């Protein structure tokens, strides 16, 4: 005999009107117990709703985009009478509960179960492209009882460490690895004596057994729902992440902190592929600075004299974090050159009054920015970014240039978009606008994102050269120092020329010295004869 039941939304931690973002079944599907039916997503988390019962789907009551709450009907399911006795009470209507009670009174036959022991080999799971990693810690020994998901060993690659959990509970029979060993995927870690429950011949249940079965029917769904709430709405390192239960389970197996994983799914939802790519990247990337940087000693400066402690503001803290990361992860090289801007400066000054009347200031930096856009088009490797794995170069077909601006609160880098499509005058106008917004604390995050290349100018202050730090994920940065009159030998005599110092820092993984020299020569020659920009 078959019965139709309604599968409803279980307790989802008090959340209401959550979005249905995925439906994994359709009418006519035969499903097993615990098969995922739909995926729900709130503002900060997502969860899969499993089926509490096996059967055939009759009608799906929800669709993608619907908003649902606890108790709403998901679908109707035709289930056999044999499986009725074991279904949970949380998502079944009252009629189904009465039928369960009637069948209990008829004292149907149930299966007797016994516990047996099986020998299980625990092996190293998929650890990405890393072929051999070091065993740096063995946390168990022979004869020890371990729980499911308990960490048993720790592995270390070139850039990351990970704990390997036990896939089952049981007693450790033999440990096959030791600290210092090198292992790879499928290497044997240990053998485990794990308990397994198997069914024997059917027998009539006593009244006590019937009571026990009824108790399990009531308690098990509560446990399942509680686990679902905890798993789906947990916070990783204090930050809510959007990931399904299966993704969270995979993350636990690899010891991955989901707050560090970038999601590529809908609304930045984290997928299994995102977790696998994260693990692969951490174990295989070979970056500069992979060694552990020693901590600076703590010094009590007050014992030398009077001091005053002032906390860094947010801009300086974030800038410090970013430049430190860039410095230790990017192999920097800096090359120096000069540009003869004598004729350019004469032209700029001749147009300065017209620009002032038009309401903007025509600066040397506007000319340099336009020339840099031309140089990026001529040398596309400078208008690129290296992917996280360090295996691919991402070329950009747009030209957004960041301009470092000093403010009372610290250094910010607003970005001028599509410089290649702007005239020098338009660049000067936009540069004045973003600089004013920066000093008035009016910059939005979008004003400082999307840059391809950065220019840092100290020309108004002084200095002859410096080594600017690459603004990651860009691959190069141009520094400008103060121009000065120098004797330049031309046509058999020395002539006074106005020379602009150029300092180009670049990522040596992407750009070699010869390319950098050609790049600065292109800029120098274009600034020496601005007519080249028109070609």
By annotation, the residues acting in catalysis are 508
Local structure of 98: helix, strand or coil: helix
Local structure of 271: helix, strand or coil: coil
CA separation for the pair 18, 2 (Å, rounded): 32
Instruction: Extract the tokens encoding 339.
Output: 């540009």
Question: Helices 364-378 and 342-358, interaxial angle, to 10°?
Answer: 120
Cβ-based burial of 163 (10 A; exposed 0-12, middle 13-18, buried ≥19): middle
CA separation for the pair 204, 235 (Å, rounded): 46
Block residue for tokens 């600065």: 520
88 to 3, 215, 300: CA distances (angstroms) = 15, 11, 64
Q: How many CA atoms lie within 13 A of 263 on its CB side?
A: 21
CA separation for the pair 417, 470 (Å, rounded): 19
Cβ-based burial of 16 (10 A; exposed 0-12, middle 13-18, buried ≥19): exposed
Query: In this structure, what DSSP letter does residue 437 have?
Result: H
Let me know: does 144 contact 175? Beta carbons within 8 Å.
no
Q: How many residues does the chain have?
A: 535
CA separation for the pair 199, 183 (Å, rounded): 38
Whole-number CA gyration radius for the chain: 33
């Amino acid at each position: 005999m078959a019965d139709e039941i309604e599968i409803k939304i279980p307790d989802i931690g008090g959340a209401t009107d959550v979005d249905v973002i995925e439906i994994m079944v359709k009418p006519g599907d035969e499903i097993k117990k615990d098969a995922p039916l739909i995926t729900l997503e709130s503002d900060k988390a997502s969860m899969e709703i499993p089926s509490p019962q096996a059967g055939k789907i009759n009608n799906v009551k929800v669709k993608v985009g619907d908003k649902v709450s606890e108790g709403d009907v998901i679908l109707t399911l035709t289930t056999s009478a044999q499986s009725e006795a074991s279904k949970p009470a949380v998502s079944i209507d009252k009629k189904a509960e009465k039928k369960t009670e009637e069948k209990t009174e008829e004292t149907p036959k149930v299966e007797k179960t016994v516990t047996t022991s099986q020998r299980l080999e625990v092996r190293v799971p998929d650890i990405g492209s890393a072929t051999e990693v070091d065993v740096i810690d063995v946390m168990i020994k022979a004869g020890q009882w371990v729980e499911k998901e308990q960490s048993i060993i720790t592995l270390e690659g070139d850039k990351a460490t990970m704990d390997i959990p036990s896939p089952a509970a049981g007693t450790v029979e033999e440990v096959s690895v030791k600290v210092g060993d090198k292992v790879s995927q499928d290497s044997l870690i240990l053998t485990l004596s794990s308990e397994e429950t198997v069914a024997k011949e059917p027998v009539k249940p006593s009244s006590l057994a019937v009571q026990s079965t009824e108790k399990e029917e009531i308690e098990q769904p509560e446990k399942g729902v509680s686990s679902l709430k905890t798993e789906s709405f947990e916070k990783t390192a204090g930050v809510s992440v959007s990931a399904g239960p299966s993704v969270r389970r995979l993350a636990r197996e690899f010891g991955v902190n989901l707050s560090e994983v970038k999601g590529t799914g809908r609304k930045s939802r984290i997928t299994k592929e995102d977790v696998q790519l994260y693990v692969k990247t951490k174990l295989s990337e070979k970056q500069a600075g992979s060694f552990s940087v020693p901590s600076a000693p703590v010094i009590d400066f007050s014992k030398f004299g009077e001091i005053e402690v002032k906390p860094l503001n947010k801009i300086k803290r974030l800038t410090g974090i970013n430049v430190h990361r860039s410095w230790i992860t990017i192999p920097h090289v800096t090359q120096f050159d000069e540009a003869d801007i004598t004729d350019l400066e004469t032209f700029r000054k001749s147009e300065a009054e017209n620009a002032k009347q038009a309401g903007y200031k025509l600066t040397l930096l506007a000319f340099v920015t336009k020339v840099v856009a031309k140089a990026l088009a001529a040398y596309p490797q400078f208008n690129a970014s290296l992917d996280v794995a360090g295996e691919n170069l991402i070329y950009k077909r747009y030209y957004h240039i960041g301009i470092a601006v000093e403010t009372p609160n610290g250094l910010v880098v607003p970005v001028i978009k599509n410089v290649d499509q702007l005239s020098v005058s338009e660049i000067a106008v936009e540069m004045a606008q973003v600089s004013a917004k920066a000093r008035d604390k009016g910059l939005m995050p979008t004003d400082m994102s999307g840059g391809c290349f950065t220019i840092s100018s100290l020309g108004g202050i002084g200095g002859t050269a410096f080594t600017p730090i690459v603004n990651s994920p860009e691959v190069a940065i141009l520094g400008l120092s103060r121009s000065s009159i120098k004797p330049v030998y031309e046509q058999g005599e020395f002539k006074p020329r106005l020379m602009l110092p150029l300092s180009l820092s670049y990522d040596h993984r992407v750009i070699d010295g010869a390319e950098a020299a050609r790049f600065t020569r292109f800029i120098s020659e274009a600034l020496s004869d601005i007519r080249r920009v028109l070609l």
